[in-house]
Amino acid sequence: MVGLKIDRAELEKICTRYGVEFLGVFGSVARGEDSPDSDVDMLVRFGKKGVKGLMGMVAMERQLGEVFGKKVDLVTRDFLSPYFRENILAEVKPVYGKA
């Protein structure tokens, strides 16, 4: 995860606030191929009391973007493209919780 600086305390606050069980990076950041212009692709799994709805996801993306200093694209496993799911799940690197 070249170039990705993580404020662990702030990340934990956000994950707790939104009921996150797992958060991981995939894509160019996970492969160490990211550039200064790269966004951060993140896979999230919420607990039973986790965020519900699009507005909560958008707010969480924005807050994570502030922590990482980059645009964040957040996706749940259910919304992964079936064409890319296997590759994404193979390369995802945990940043919070357990897979």
Instruction: Per-residue pLDDT tens, the chain, 99 aa: give them.
Output: 546 788 899 999 999 999 999 999 999 999 999 888 889 999 999 998 888 788 889 999 999 999 999 999 999 998 999 999 999 999 999 999 986
Residue 3 lies in a domain: no
Residue 41 lies in a domain: yes
> How many angstroms separate the CA atoms of 33 and 81, rounded?
21
Read off the CATH number of the domain in which 69 is found: 3.30.460.10
Token digits for 63?
């807050």
Residue 79 amino acid letter: F
What are the pLDDT digits (tens) for 7-24?
899 999 999 999 999 999
Residue 64 lies in a domain: yes
Residue 56 lies in a domain: yes
Overall number of domains in the chain: 1
43: containing domain: 8-97
> How many angstroms separate the CA atoms of 88 and 38, rounded?
17
> How many angstroms separate the CA atoms of 21 and 7, rounded?
18
Among all chains, which residue has been given the structure tokens 């919420």? 46
